[in-house]
Amino acid sequence: MANHLAYLGLQEHGFDSHQWNVPVHVLLQGASDFTLQLSAGHVPVSLSDLLYKACNIDDTVCATSFLPETNEIWYLVGKALAHIPEFDEPRFQDPLQYVAFQHVNSLSGWNKALVQYYIPGYAMAIVCMARRTQFTVPNKTSTVDTLAFCVRRPYDPGWVCENQVEITSMAYILQLSAGNATYLGTVPLQEVYLNPGMTAVATGGQHGTITLRSVPSVDEYQVGTLQAQAPWDVLCASSCTRYDPRTRLGWLLRVQGRVSITWICDSLMLTNTVFLWCITVYLVVLQWVFLRHSHICLVAVYLSKSVLGISILFVTFWGNANLQTLTTTWCKTQLTHLMPPYLQSRGQPRWRLLSAS
């Protein structure tokens, strides 16, 4: 396992189990409105600006200073809804229609940013989430950029960051780069959500059919002793119903990823090997000399009734940062391997493993 890429399995964060809280330095919330009839000067803003802006914890001055740029970005994305052909919500494409929006951002430096567009008195809204995505346009090399994934959703007057919809819904994809908005197409939600590591296909956009993949993430522990990498879902579900402004916890995501780890072991652990070899030889000699005709293995009995087991653990782990990092991270991550269908039909629970994160 050491110094090799090892696949561990499927990891899932949910709203009720194995929760992952979005890091929030200061919660930026804002609101504005527009009509498609009005036009503003060209401002070279991009969706990526929303993902990388960082403020210190509880730095409201920093957040307030970023508010005008955030309003401008979501304004341009909202206007780009008019570029979607055969849009399911044509009222958002009416040039005379007054459209309001409210948005949220975590401002931690690797941000989660969402917006809700709505028409006062109208039952439906459009919710978009900015996600870093790798996509390929026909006859061109793949590109990594921040895209807005928008879905139809009933208007939520108490909205903070929610975007959950039926898995059978469609997602509309918009790109905003240097002030220029582009409609990239429509993709079935089930291809980009709860489907990690898979390639999704978007159709109907200005560049024709494009393919989408998630950008693999890499987390390092103990100065690179252990690296966990995974392709996560292109799009995830977000919920702030439990968000507590005092602790900045409770912004939760539902997302899946296929996790692999690389355990960098820079030691041959010669001392451990020699010690374990001597203990093994000692137990074999005891078994052969005194218990030659016994059907009971001495090793397991001896280990369970003496301090030998504790001694082995002490010698193995004491001062060994490699093993300490590996076992600590194993205890922090829950991996879910789905059972085969014939076992699921019998009502068996899922397999759950403690693994590295």
Q: Specify the residue for token string 């009509």.
A: 35
Largest CA distance in the chain: 96
278 and 199 in a single domain? The answer is: no
The answer as to whether 238 is a domain residue is yes
Model confidence band, residue 351 (pLDDT cutoffs 50, 70, 90): very low
259 and 282 in a single domain? The answer is: no
pLDDT digits (tens, 9 = 90+) for 110-149: 999 999 999 999 999 999 999 999 999 998 899 999 999 9
Residue 205: give the domain boundaries. 4-263
pLDDT computed for residue 149 by the predictor: 98
The answer as to whether 326 is a domain residue is no
307 and 236 in a single domain? The answer is: no
96 and 20 in a single domain? The answer is: yes
The answer as to whether 15 is a domain residue is yes
Distances (CA, A) of 186 to 182, 242, 247, 283: 12, 31, 38, 66
The answer as to whether 357 is a domain residue is no
What is the rounded (10 degree) CA torsion for 215, 221, 223, 225? -100
222 and 110 in a single domain? The answer is: yes
Query: pLDDT averaged over the chain?
Result: 84
pTM summary value = 0.78
pLDDT digits (tens, 9 = 90+) for 202-232: 999 999 999 999 999 888 877 777 888 899 9
Q: Which of 225, 248, 263 is the last residue of a domain?
A: 263
**Residue 81: pLDDT over 90:** yes
Q: Which two tokens stand for residue 278?
A: 């001597």
| Cα–Cα distance measured from residue 179 to residue 190, given in angstroms and rounded to the nearest whole number | 30
Long-range contacts from 317-324, C-beta under 8 angstroms, 24+ separation: 320/267, 320/269, 320/272, 321/222, 321/225, 322/2, 322/225, 322/263, 322/264, 322/265, 322/266, 322/267, 324/222
135 and 274 in a single domain? The answer is: no
Q: Specify the residue for token string 């459209």.
A: 99
286 and 158 in a single domain? The answer is: no
The answer as to whether 99 is a domain residue is yes
The answer as to whether 75 is a domain residue is yes
307 and 198 in a single domain? The answer is: no
pLDDT digits (tens, 9 = 90+) for 164-199: 999 999 999 999 999 999 999 999 999 999 999 999
Name which residue leads in pLDDT, 285 or 25: 25
160 and 144 in a single domain? The answer is: yes
The answer as to whether 200 is a domain residue is yes
**Residue 346: pLDDT over 50:** no
**Residue 306: pLDDT over 80:** no
Rounded (5°) CA angle 267-7-5: 40
3-state SS, the chain, equals CECCEEEEEEEEECCCCCCCECCCCCCEEEEEEECCCCCCCCCCCCCHHHHHCECCCCCHHHHHHHHHHHHHHHHHHHHHHHHCCCCCCHHHHCCCCCEEEEEEECCECCCCEEEEEECCCCCEEEEEEEEEEEEECCCCCCEEEEEEEEEEEECCCCCCCCCCCCCCCEEEEEEEECCEEEEEEEEEHHHHCCCCCCCEEEEEECCEEEEEEECCEEEEECCCCEEEEECECCCCEEECCCCECCCCECCEEEEEEEEEEEECCCCCCHHHHHHHHHHHHHHHHHHHHHCCCCCCCHHHHHHHCCCHHHHHHHHHHCCCHHHHHHHHHHCCEEEEECCCHHHHCCCCCCEEEEECC
- How many domains, the chain? 2
Torsion angles phi and psi, residue 97, rounded to 5: -80, 135
195 and 298 in a single domain? The answer is: no
Q: Which two tokens stand for residue 303?
A: 């280990």
222 and 165 in a single domain? The answer is: yes
Pairing assessment for the beta strands 252-263 and 333-337 based on DSSP bridges: unpaired
163 and 280 in a single domain? The answer is: no
